[in-house]
Amino acid sequence: MARVSPRHRAYEIIEPGIKRDGVALLFERASIVIILASVAGAALSTVAGLDRGFLDDLRIGEYAFGLFFLCEYAARLWTLPEHPVFGGERGRGLLSYMLSPLMLLDAAGVVPFILLLVRPEASAPILIFQVLRFFRLARYSPALATVGRVLSNEWRPLVAAGLIGLGLLLVAATGMYLIEHDVQPQSLGSIPAAMYWAVVTVVTVGYGDVVPITPLGKLFTGFVMLCGLIFFALPVAIIATGFLAEIRRRDFIVNYGMIARVPAFAELDGAALAELVSLLKARKFPSDTIIIRKGDEGDSMYFIASGEVEVVLPRQSIRLQEGDFFGEVAVLGRVKRTATVIARRNSELLVLDAADVVKFMEQNPRVETILREAMTARQKSHEEPT
């Protein structure tokens, strides 16, 4: 076995998802706990009337958290050569790495520690950067990372929607100024002053401290509220569409990688694989879960991407592992299930509906040959369909 360098081993530990061994998982979980503890400590420090000793403990804890974040940031810079995107001769380099969003968040997490050392009286900046540490969870949370990718991918339409919203505020403030600046000179005597009313009206909050008096002003207010409701549907639709596209992109990549591990699909070209990805559904089964039962309708067949399943036959049991498939006899023979299949380890399966099986085999005879040969061999070997 090739010996791993200390730098590469450090990279495996501090970079989430590279290697899921015990040390890496421990570091990941400790990092999450420390991030949450540092944010909680920052919030508690603002509570009035706390015991002085407790505040001193919070300050000591902040020094410990800051030292941890500083060491982690230094370790990430040290392991840069191991990074597949930024490291190496053809990588983007140190400056690009330091300016990447996650590294900027890591740097922001170190700032409170530095400020406590050089300017401890700067409580407001220290608190701001302490709270910003919460977003470092994006490194360990796929959900937060997905939000970041969606906002990054859709920033142009979101900026366009923001400009439309700004225009709506300007029109609303100008209209209300023209209508009621004579009757409410203090609140609506200028467009900048009316802008406050426009903001609380467009977002339909309506604090009630500035309200229209004239009938025309009330009519105009109703129109602005309706425009506000219509406007907020625009960025929501943009973000929702971005989420859907991101989820589809992620599922395609995951399913494509799983399909590539199934020998029955090894000779398919890229177009056929892409079509198959759109037909397959990925499902996960915990250990000791019944996948199909004897006597059920044969409405789908399964390909094992990872894990192990047991096919329980009347006279024996068979273990199937990654790359195997089952359920083809019930689908191709149009009969009910004649065996129960149980997941013996946590398993990831690719499910193909019966109608899609027939359709795909018609377009890819090689796959049909493999499936029918396997079906015939199993029938002869076990005397009963599996």
1-56 pLDDT per residue, tens: 457 788 888 988 888 877 667 888 899 999 999 999 999 999 999 998 888 888 88
The top-scoring range by mean pLDDT among 8-22, 44-58, 209-223, 366-380 is 209-223
Q: What is the mean pLDDT of the chain?
A: 84
Q: What is the pLDDT of residue 1?
A: 43
- Look up tokens 């250990």; give the residue: 287
**pTM of the predicted structure, to 2 decimals:** 0.61
CA–CA distance, 235 with 143 (Å, rounded to integer): 19
Tell me the mean pLDDT in the region 178-184.
Answer: 92
Is pLDDT at 178 greater than 90 in this prediction?
Answer: yes
What tokens does 340 get? 């129960």
Residue 234 host element (H or E):
helix 215-259
Higher pLDDT, 98 or 327: 98
Q: What is the pLDDT of residue 385?
A: 44
Q: What is the pLDDT of residue 383?
A: 54
CA–CA distance, 283 with 349 (Å, rounded to integer): 5
Spans of all domains in the chain: 6-140, 155-249, 264-382
Q: Hey, what CATH topology would domain 155-249 get?
A: Helix Hairpins (1.10.287)
CA–CA distance, 236 with 54 (Å, rounded to integer): 43
Q: What sign results for the dihedral spanned by CA atoms 270, 271, 273, 277?
A: positive
Q: Do domains 6-140 and 264-382 have the same CATH topology?
A: no
- Look up tokens 């002869």; give the residue: 380
Confidence of residue 65 (pLDDT cuts 50, 70, 90): very high
Q: Find the angle CA(98)-CA(99)-CA(105) to the nearest 5 degrees.
A: 85
CA–CA distance, 107 with 128 (Å, rounded to integer): 13
Q: How many helices (H) and strands (E) does the chain have?
A: 15, 8
Tell me the mean pLDDT in the region 96-115.
Answer: 91
DSSP string, 1-41: -PPPPHHHHHHHHHSTTS--SHHHHHHHHHHHHHHHHHHHH
Residue 311 host element (H or E):
strand 308-312
Confidence of residue 257 (pLDDT cuts 50, 70, 90): low
Tell me the mean pLDDT in the region 225-235.
Answer: 90
Q: What is the pLDDT of residue 253?
A: 67
- Look up tokens 């991030």; give the residue: 35
Q: Find the angle CA(264)-CA(269)-CA(274) to the nearest 5 degrees.
A: 90
Under a CB-based contact definition with an 8 Å cutoff, are residues 311 and 295 in contact? no
- The CATH architecture of the domain made up of 6-140 is Up-down Bundle (1.20)
Give CA torsion, residues 26, 31, 32, 38, to 10 deg: 140
354-363 vs 270-279: helix axis angle to the nearest 10?
170
What tokens does 167 get? 């225009």
CA–CA distance, 107 with 73 (Å, rounded to integer): 7
Q: Hey, what CATH topology would domain 264-382 get?
A: Jelly Rolls (2.60.120)
